[in-house]
Structure 1
Amino acid sequence: MTVVRPVRPDDLPALLALIAAHTAYERAAPPPPGLAERLAPALFADPPRLRCLVADDAGTLAGYATWTRDLATWTGRPYTHLDCLYLDERHRGRGLGRRLIDAVVAAADGEEVQWQTPVWNTDARRFYERLGARPAEKIRYTLPPR
C-alpha cells in the first residue's frame, strides 16, 4: 500500500532521482551538482523552508510534492505555492497525484494553492482541471543571477 508522508533525510537519494526524472520529463536542464547539499537544509530545518511530501510505495518513492508559503501582493493574503508535483511513470493512474495534491491542500490550512505546468503538458492540465483547478494564463520568465 502506498502512503503519503513527509520526506525524511534517508529519502534524499531517492528524492533526487525523482527530481532528475522530473526535470527530464519537463525537458529542462538536469539538476546541478550539489543539489542534495542545498536541498537538505531547506527540507529539514525547523521550520522547513521547502516542504515535501512523498508517495511511499512499500519503501520505494513513487512521487513527491514540494511547496512553499508566500504572500500575494494584490490581495495581501498568504498562499501556498506548489513548486513540484511528480509521479514516476509506473505509478501514474493510481490516484497518487490526487492524494499528494489533497495532502498539500490540507497542509495549506485554508490558503489558496497555486502552481504552474508547461503548456504542452496536456495530461497534467486535464488532471488539474478535473480537480477543479482553473488555469491562469501567464508566461513565466526566469532571470539568471548576474
Structure 2
Amino acid sequence: MTSSPVPYEIRTAAPDDLPRLIDLIADHADFERQKVNRTHLAENLPRYLFGADARLSVMVAGRGGELVGYGAASIEFSTWKAACFLHLDCLYLAPQSRGAGLGARMLAAFENLARQQNLGWMEWQTPDWNIDAARFYERNGARALPKLRFAKTLSHIPSR
C-alpha cells in the first residue's frame, strides 16, 4: 500500500521557526537580486514578530516539519481612503514547492487575516521583471496598480 504525501501546512510563525525563516528570507532576497544581513535579522526580527513591539504577521508553509515558504504582512493606513489595509510585504516559496497550489493557499490565508482584522483590501508589490509572480497574482484576482515605488535610505541597515 502506498502512503499519500504529507499535506502542506500553513500556520503562524513561531519562535522556533526563526533559523529556517531567516534562510527563506535570505533566499527570497537573493531571488529578487537583493541582500540581507542574517545577523541583523536574527537580532531584530523577533522583536517585531513576538515582542511588545510586534507589528508583523508572518505565516509559514511547511510539510513534514520542513518550512518551504513564508509570507509577511502588516497593517498600514491609506489617507485617501481613510482606512487601514493589509500590506503583504513578502510571499515566497522555495522553488521545489511552487506549482502545487501552495502559493494560492498562502495568499488566501492572508486574505482571511485581512478579513479577520476587518480590512477592506490588501496591497503588495513584485519586481517588474518577475512576470511569473505577476501572472500568479492576476490569476488569483489581483490587478497591477500603475505606480512607481521609491525608497530613500535614512539609516544604515547592515547588509551581508
TM range (shorter): over 0.9
Report how far residue 47 of structure 1 moved.
Answer: 7.5
Letter matched to residue 3 of structure 1 = E
The 8 Å contact of residues 19 and 31 in structure 1, kept in 2 or not, is answered as no
Whole-Å separation in 1 of the counterparts to 2:67 and 2:133 = 20
Superimposed CA distance per residue, residues 24-70 of structure 1 (whole angstroms, 9 cap, x where no aligned partner): 00011233532111100111136731110000111111100000001
Match of 2:123 among 102, 111, 114: 114
The 8 Å contact of residues 47 and 53 in structure 2, kept in 1 or not, is answered as no
Whole-Å separation in 2 of the counterparts to 1:134 and 1:22 = 22
Give yes or no for the alignment of 1:144 onto 2:153.
Answer: yes
How many residue pairs get matched? 146
Instruction: Name the counterpart of 1:128.
Output: 137
Q: CA RMSD in A?
A: 1.3
Whole-Å separation in 2 of the counterparts to 1:82 and 1:133 = 12
Letter matched to residue 2 of structure 1 = Y
The 8 Å contact of residues 22 and 38 in structure 2, kept in 1 or not, is answered as no
Match of 1:41 among 24, 44, 47: 47
Instruction: Name the counterpart of 1:29.
Output: 35
Structure 1 unaligned residues grouped into runs of 5+: none
Whole-Å separation in 2 of the counterparts to 1:47 and 1:38 = 11
Superimposed CA distance per residue, residues 68-87 of structure 1 (whole angstroms, 9 cap, x where no aligned partner): 00110101011000000000
Instruction: Name the counterpart of 2:86.
Output: 80
Whole-Å separation in 2 of the counterparts to 1:32 and 1:107 = 28
Q: Secondary structure at the match of 1:41?
A: helix
Instruction: Name the counterpart of 1:17.
Output: 23
Q: Structure 1 length as normaliser, TM-score? A: 0.95
Instruction: Name the counterpart of 1:55.
Output: 61
The 8 Å contact of residues 74 and 87 in structure 2, kept in 1 or not, is answered as yes
Whole-Å separation in 1 of the counterparts to 2:145 and 2:39 = 33
Runs of 4+ in structure 1 off by over 4 angstroms are none
Structure 2 unaligned residues grouped into runs of 5+: 1-6, 156-160
Q: Structure 2 length as normaliser, TM-score? A: 0.87
Whole-Å separation in 2 of the counterparts to 1:58 and 1:143 = 41
Report how far residue 88 of structure 1 moved.
Answer: 0.2
